């Protein structure tokens, strides 16, 4: 069984991607941490492959702040399947959100870097279980 076949939430619908959502407001707080987060996002993309997507959800950012983020990191963001949005998106893995307006398969409450680490652990477990290593 492949990762693709397992991508079902409660048997109801296919989310199409092993997506991970994080709050962009938290990502851009510190430029050094921003780069570390983005390098870890690249690692996730490499691990999962074409079925990976990162969703950067923002609340209090202006359009210009979002454009600056994209311009600053365009080399990585275009390499990885990326979405920047203000709308809630259904995701496979949600980091640190208490808002219940979207569906998720896994949820991590904590900082973004520890959430990415948990995401990688789950993906590695699924690959090992399915003999994809």
pLDDT reading at 10 higher than 50: no
Spacing of C-alpha 120 from chain mean position = 11
Cα separation, 103 vs 94, in Å, equals: 9
Burial of 71 (0-12, 13-18, 19+ CB in 10 A): exposed
Predicted local distance difference test score (pLDDT) of residue 89: 80
- The percent of residues above 90 in pLDDT, for the chain, comes to 68
Question: What is the mean predicted confidence (pLDDT) over 63-79?
Answer: 95
Q: Is 80 exceeded by the pLDDT of residue 105?
A: yes
| pLDDT value of position 98 | 63
Task: Please compute the mean of the pLDDT values over residues 106-129 and round it to a whole number.
Answer: 94
Residue 29 CB burial class (10 angstroms; 0-12, 13-18, ≥19): exposed
Q: What angle separates helix 112-129 from helix 31-48, to the nearest 10 degrees?
A: 10
Q: What separation in angstroms does the CA of 34 have from each of 2, 5, 12, 17, 24?
A: 32, 33, 35, 23, 10
């Amino acid at each position: 069984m492949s990762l693709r076949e397992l991508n079902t939430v409660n048997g109801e619908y296919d989310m199409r991607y092993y997506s991970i959502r994080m709050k962009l407001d938290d990502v851009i707080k510190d430029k050094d941490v921003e780069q570390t987060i983005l390098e870890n996002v690249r690692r996730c993309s490499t691990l999962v492959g074409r079925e990976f997507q990162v969703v950067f959800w923002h609340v209090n950012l202006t359009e210009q702040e979002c454009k600056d983020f994209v311009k600053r990191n365009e080399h990585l963001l275009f390499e990885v399947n990326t979405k920047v949005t203000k709308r809630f998106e259904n995701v496979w893995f949600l980091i640190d959100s208490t808002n219940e307006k979207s569906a998720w398969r896994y949820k991590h409450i904590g900082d973004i870097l520890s959430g990415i680490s948990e995401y990688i652990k789950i993906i590695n477990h699924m690959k090992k279980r399915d003999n994809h290593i």
